[in-house]
Chains A and B, each alone.
Chain A
Amino acid sequence: MSTANVLFGWQPMADEIVADIQNVYLGAARNEGIFRNLNLTLKAGHTAIVTGGPGSGKTSLTALLTGVGFADEGLVEVFGESLRPRRIWAINRVRRMIGGVGGIFGLVPSMTVAENIAFPLVITGLSKRRRQAKLLKMLTEFSLLKKAGDYPRTLTRVEHTLVQFARASIGDQPLLIIDEPSAGLDQATTARIFEFLIKASLSGRALLLLCSDAPAHDLPNSDIYHISNGTLE
């Protein structure tokens, strides 16, 4: 039984729809027009790469998928849950199945690296033995063993990103949202991160990459979209 199944009681089958955004309008009421008839379907094992300039709505897209913001019109469904205001339990359940890096995702300043990485497992109530085993695996995989007891304020930008990747993967979260995956990273780390993303995609996880420009590395089963004038092209 996979960790995702144990933690979330939900294991995406190949090609199963993970996130579905249909005819979404956002900001129209405020004459901002962030999204106009936005449509995006993301399936398990697939990757959606969304490119766009600053202010194009990439962060708003993350907000929609995590229940931080809500569409003025249209449908946003993640893991079969319709994300609407006041559906706190559904939103929390969805958030636990999302691994996030960059953008609105950050680290908890008062927690150590190890505590930050293990936090998704703490809130799902996984046993201490399994949690520690997974934590050790993540710390090793992302070369963070020596930093386990450090606080985020003492980390470099690269370490910061690596901790977020480790946290986004510790529970095999079925959906990974990565805002600017290579921002501030050197070439070697970027290559390592993409190697990790390829593995994640091949293991059946759905990936949503938000970046200014199309990434230099290829990802399996990926589609590239450009966000412009509130729609995806």
Chain B
Amino acid sequence: MSRLSHIFRELGRSLYRFPGTALGALLSLALLFLLFDLFWIAAATTEQLYTRLISQLRMEAFVAEHVIDTEIPPLQDAIAHTEGIIAIEYISREKAREVLHEMLGTDLLIGYDSANPLPRSFIIEFESDALNSEDMASVCEGLSGFPEIAEVTYSQQWLKNAEATRVIIKRFGLALGVFILLTAIISSVNNIRLMTRARTEGFQQMRLLGAGRLFLAFPFLIEGMLISGLSAAAGWLAINYGSHQISLTQIEIVYPVIEEIVIFCAAAAALGAISGYLGIRKLLR
């Protein structure tokens, strides 16, 4: 029996003697990780939805009535050079009439060809980094300073609400992550403690014979790693099974890529190892 085989034999002893405790820990952790996985998917899907919606956000700057058409190109140029703006499109009175026609299905200005009252405007598209209420408000303020611009509009309140919702989801995710981390550690620590309690005498004897702390703790580190890692993998397997049973046409659900899942399971296993050490720490003193 080498040191390594002793470690694995001790691990086997723990699982063989306390199968209920190990299974209970595995299932409760799997359930916990499943909850986290579901939230992860929900957050990723929401984030994608948010990015998609936000990318459609445009700002419209209306040209003042006194501006003559020859002044439009230099004005468009000046606006295009503003930081954060990626594209700018000029909407003439005629174009505005076409757009209105498309929207309503009928031309309301028939008979008023010489006196089109629709305003001229610029539709401004932003870089993805600038698609936030702060940057857009700053651009809006800058554009309002142009004497040739009569009014600037964009969905300011909607953007603020969307950002606030995003912040709430992020905070909730963080709180849930911390909650799950703590629960997973406490659950694993208790599980390891339960398994070691009955073996206190044996541990003391092994210590008395000169066995090092790490040598004694190793089987429990591996056990914590196994239980936690397997629980995380079981959570993802359940998600994978569920994803094949459900198909949504309205929303595209965003699943993490395999590399992220592997990293998550590895992190869960590392968490289990820490829990294993914490579980046996008292016995090693």
A binds B: yes
Give every chain B residue within 8 A of A66 (Cβ-Cβ).
208
Q: How far is the CB of A155 from chain B (nearest CB, A)?
A: 15
Cβ contact within 8 Å between A95 and B202: no
Q: How far is the CB of A61 from chain B (nearest CB, A)?
A: 15
A106 at the interface (CB under 8 A from B): yes
Give every chain A residue within 8 A of B6 (Cβ-Cβ).
122
A100 at the interface (CB under 8 A from B): yes
Give every chain B residue within 8 A of A92 (Cβ-Cβ).
210-212
Cβ contact within 8 Å between A95 and B205: no
Q: How far is the CB of A66 from chain B (nearest CB, A)?
A: 6
Cβ contact within 8 Å between A120 and B209: yes
B199 at the interface (CB under 8 A from A): yes
Measured as residues with beta carbon below 8 angstroms from the partner, the interface class of chain B is 10 to 19
Cβ contact within 8 Å between A122 and B205: no
Cβ contact within 8 Å between A119 and B209: yes
Q: How far is the CB of A160 from chain B (nearest CB, A)?
A: 13
Give which listed residue, A109, A118, A123, contacts B210 with CB less than 8 A.
A123
Give which listed residue, B13, B199, B201, B215, contacts A123 with CB less than 8 A.
B215
Cβ contact within 8 Å between A123 and B212: yes
Cβ contact within 8 Å between A108 and B210: no
A111 at the interface (CB under 8 A from B): yes
| A66 CA to B211 CA, complexed, in Å | 13
Known: A122-B3, A122-B6, A123-B3. A109 touches B202 (CB 8 A): yes
Q: How far is the CB of B1 from chain A (nearest CB, A)?
A: 6
| A159 CA to B144 CA, complexed, in Å | 97
Cβ contact within 8 Å between B209 and A95: yes
Cβ contact within 8 Å between A108 and B212: no
Give every chain B residue within 8 A of A83 (Cβ-Cβ).
none
Give every chain A residue within 8 A of B13 (Cβ-Cβ).
110
Give every chain B residue within 8 A of A120 (Cβ-Cβ).
209-210
| A115 CA to B1 CA, complexed, in Å | 8
Give every chain A residue within 8 A of B176 (Cβ-Cβ).
none
| A118 CA to B1 CA, complexed, in Å | 8
Give which listed residue, B1, B202, B213, contacts A122 with CB less than 8 A.
B1
In chain A, what residue has the closest Cβ to B212?
A: A92
B206 at the interface (CB under 8 A from A): yes
Give every chain A residue within 8 A of B199 (Cβ-Cβ).
109-110
A176 at the interface (CB under 8 A from B): no
State how many residues of chain A have any CB contact under 8 Å with chain B. 29
| A106 CA to B208 CA, complexed, in Å | 9
Cβ contact within 8 Å between A123 and B209: yes
| A95 CA to B201 CA, complexed, in Å | 17
Cβ contact within 8 Å between A128 and B209: no
Known: A109-B202, A122-B6. A93 touches B208 (CB 8 A): no
B114 at the interface (CB under 8 A from A): no
Q: Mark A215-227, 1 if CB is under 8 A from B, else 0.
A: 0000000000000
Q: In the complex, which residues 55-99 of chain A have their Cβ closer than 8 Å to any Cβ of chain B?
A: 66, 68, 88, 92-98
Give every chain B residue within 8 A of A50 (Cβ-Cβ).
none
Cβ contact within 8 Å between B206 and A108: yes
Q: How far is the CB of A80 from chain B (nearest CB, A)?
A: 16
Cβ contact within 8 Å between B3 and A125: yes
Cβ contact within 8 Å between B210 and A95: yes
A105 at the interface (CB under 8 A from B): yes
Cβ contact within 8 Å between A123 and B1: no
Give which listed residue, A68, A118, A125, A131, contacts B208 with CB less than 8 A.
A68
Cβ contact within 8 Å between B2 and A122: yes
| A123 CA to B212 CA, complexed, in Å | 8
A107 at the interface (CB under 8 A from B): yes
Give every chain A residue within 8 A of B212 (Cβ-Cβ).
88, 92, 123
| A94 CA to B212 CA, complexed, in Å | 12
Cβ contact within 8 Å between A119 and B206: yes
In chain A, what residue has the closest Cβ to B199?
A: A110
Give every chain A residue within 8 A of B201 (Cβ-Cβ).
106, 108-109
Extra 16 A-B pairs, beta carbons < 8 Å, given A95-B209, A122-B1: A88-B212, A88-B213, A92-B210, A92-B212, A95-B210, A96-B209, A100-B209, A105-B205, A108-B201, A110-B17, A110-B199, A118-B1, A119-B206, A120-B209, A122-B3, A123-B3
Query: Can you report 28 A-B residue pairs in the complex whose CB atoms are below 8 A from each other?
Result: A88-B212, A92-B210, A93-B210, A94-B210, A95-B207, A95-B210, A96-B209, A97-B210, A100-B208, A100-B209, A104-B208, A106-B205, A108-B201, A108-B206, A109-B201, A109-B202, A110-B17, A110-B199, A111-B202, A115-B1, A118-B1, A119-B209, A120-B210, A123-B209, A123-B210, A125-B2, A128-B2, A167-B209
Residues of A whose CB lies within 8 Å of any CB of B are 66, 68, 88, 92-98, 100, 104-111, 115, 118-120, 122-123, 125, 128, 131, 167
